Structure formats: structure tokens, C-alpha cells
Amino acid sequence: MKQKIYPLLLTAFVLYGLTSVMPGLTGHLAGAQEKPWTLRDCIGYALEHSLNVQRSALQVMQREIDVNTAENDRLPGVRGSASQNFSFGRGLTADNTYANTNTTNTSLSLGADMTLFNGFRMRNNILLSKLNLEAATVDLEKAKDDIRVAVAKAYVQILYNREILAVAQRQIEIDSMQVVRLETLKENGKSTAAEVAAQQASLAQSRLTCVQADNNLRLARLDLAQLLELPSPEGFDVVVPDEDALAIPLPAGPEAVYEEAVGIKPAVRAEETRLAYAERNIELAKGGYLPSLSLNGGIGTNYYTSSGYPSKTFIEQLGNNFSQYVGLSLNVPIFSRLSTRNQVRSARVSYNVQQLQLETAKKQLFKEIQQAWYNAVSARSKFESSTEAASAASESFALAQAKYENGKSSITEFNESKNQYLKARSDLAQARYEYIYQTRLLDFYRGREIEL
């Protein structure tokens, strides 16, 4: 019978009591008319609107341009030029004498040059630019992974705060019933004003706890809305998954998870790519020891006039003065003040530094996995014990409530039992969602999507 009365009292209290204590709550609930978001919805929206992801995507585009630039360096360079000169006063004439005369000179030329060999620097630059592109692509994947983890954590925090709010509302429900009961007993002379006042004080404290829980839920929604780059958290809410969907087995151990993660996680792959870049950079530096060979060629013509002297037409002179040239240029390094040697040495030091960076990334990944695994083990143990504690606290509170209502225990004993029951419910919610998050995080390290 009492179980049927509780929901009715809670509904009445929410409509009347909570409205006066938390005036913003009803408005908030009234505004939340939009369809709740699933975790997949949140992650998809965040990936599309995250500024960090967009910046990483632009870096990929920039590296693609760099690859194209490096590849185009293998093509010949073609250039054309035209000049028009006017000369006044004493100058050289066509018969190689000087006279006071005005002259004009028009020159046209077209040239091309192409590098045939430059110590494999062009080839290495292309490979380096491709490695830079690969690193930028992996960095983009890492930025997306960071968003996925952050959104999942914020999502689970909302679920946890929602359940804590439900516990706080349950606390108000219990205290409200006792206030009503004691006031009725007081009217019949079976309760004192002191007992009513004590229970009203307990109800006021429960309302304060509910206000705090509601504020925490609002802030959790705000955190997730900001991660999604939403303009406002108003009307934003998330889907509460089914209880069956929350159960997930724990992996065998952190080592097994690490073996799967080390080959696929962007944090490690990015450092592996940068190690390959550092290795290729050594070969690029060694190219400074080798000679370079380039091919060049071109065509040109000109038109010349001098006042006081006859000259052929423009077309005739262009034809008569037309010339072509082709040549090879060889550059052999003999002594470069040891700069090439130092460039090679510096590249090797950078390679060794990057090796340490790779090992650091691997150890950091294993540390994160190990921490997540032990957190999950701890949360599972806490969840199992909290389940038993919540069940025992529920039974104990039912007995304490019956004794209190029959006048066989004091309000202090009743409130102690109630507080133990509500604390057990809160501990259970915390352990459940901590276990959910840590196990989903372990699955994510194994290359699976984070889903609830």
C-alpha cells in the first residue's frame, strides 16, 4: 500500500513543493521538449563541429598541398622574359663606333631548367612530405579519439547526476510523507510540535540536497553541450540506456588490451610516423655530400634600332637574331665548412630523440590502459558490494520506517537509517557508472566504438 502512495505523494510534491524550492526546475523540464540524444548522436555531432577536429583537418589539407609541391619540384621550370630599352646620347653604333644617337632595343627570351640529380634530395623531400601528411592524418584521428572519450565521459556524468537527482527526490518523498503523517498525528494529539519541526527541518535539508543535485545535473548537461559546440544547453538531454545494455565483461588484463591497442591507437602511430620521418631526414642530410646536376636551355631574339642609321624590319630582325642554347651544370661539393656533416649528426640526434618519444608514447598508452583496467576492477568490486549494501540498506530502512511509524524508534534513528539507505543508493550509482565508463574506455582502446 505504501509503495502505491509514494508515487502519488512524489507527484504532488513535485507539482507543488519543488516548484517553490526550485523555480527553475519546472521551466527547465518544460523546455526540454527536443528528442534526447544518444551517445552516438553526441559523438557524431561533436566530430562534425569540434574546432580542434576542424583545425586538424586543415592541417591535413596543408600537408596534402606540401606533397603536391614536393612532387612538382621534379618538373622543369619554364620562364619567359621581355624587355624594352631606350638609350639617348652617346652610344655604340652598329659599326662599333660611338656617336650621339638614340637607340632602342627589344629582347624576347624563353628559358627552362630542370634538376637531373641533387643527391636524392628531391626524392627524399617527397617521401618526407608524404610522412608529414601521414602524421597529420593520424593526428586528426587522435583529435577525433580525444573528442570521443571526452563526450563519453561527459555523457556518463549526466547519467550519474540524473540518478543522484532521483535519489534526492526519493529523499524528499520520504520526508514529505513523514511530515504529513506527523502533522496528522499532532492534530490527533499523538505527536508533538517538536517532532513535527524536526521532520520539517529534515525535509528542508532534503530539498537543499535536491537543489544541489539538480544544479549538478544542469552543469553536467552544460559541459556536454559545450563539448558539442551547442549554442545553449536549453532543451538538451540524453537518452538513458537500458539496464541490460550497461552490463559488459571486463577484458582479461591490461596486457591483452595493450597488445591490441599499440598497433591501432593514433597516439602511438603518430610517433611511429615521426620516427620514420626522422630516419628519412638523415638520408636527406647525407645528400649534401653528393654532387648536383641540372639541365638548362632556352631560346631568344631581339630587335635593335639606332637613329640616323638604317635598320631592318621588326620581323626580319627577330628571325635573323633568333638563337637557342642548351647546357648542363654540375655542382660538386668539396668543402662546406663541415655544415653537411653537422646536419647529418643533428638529424641522427633528432632520430634518437624521436625513438624516446615513441617509447614514451607506448609507455603512456600502457599506463592509461593499466589505470583504466584497475579502475574498472575496483569499480566492479565496488558495484558488487554496493549492490548488496543497497539491498541490505533498503530492507533495514523499511524496518526502521515501520518501527518509527509505530512509535518504537525516534526520529534520529529513522533519519540515520534513511541516510544510510540513500547513501547506499548513491554509492551504487557511482560504482555502476564508473564501471560503465572504464569498461567502455578499455573497449575503445581495443579499437571499438564507444556505445551505451
Q: Which of 305, 299, 303, 306 is nearest to 314 (CA)?
A: 303
Strands 292-306 and 77-87: what pairing? Answer: unpaired
How far is 291 from 309, CA to CA, in rounded Å?
51
pLDDT attached to residue 247: 63
How far is 102 from 93, CA to CA, in rounded Å?
10
pLDDT attached to residue 243: 67
pLDDT digits (tens, 9 = 90+) for 4-39: 333 333 333 333 343 333 333 333 333 334 789 999
How far is 156 from 248, CA to CA, in rounded Å?
15
How far is 89 from 93, CA to CA, in rounded Å?
11
Residue 318 has pLDDT above 60, yes or no: yes
**Is residue 46 within 8 Å of residue 227, measured between CB atoms?**
yes
pLDDT digits (tens, 9 = 90+) for 199-239: 899 899 989 999 999 999 999 999 999 999 999 888 899 99
Q: Which of 165, 148, 198 is nearest to 22 (CA)?
A: 165
Domain residue extents for the chain:
2-73+119-290+333-445
DSSP SS3 for 233: coil
Its CATH class, for the domain covering 2-73+119-290+333-445, is mainly alpha
Strand order in the sheet with 292-306: 77-87, 103-118, 292-306, 323-331
Residue 401 has pLDDT above 80, yes or no: yes
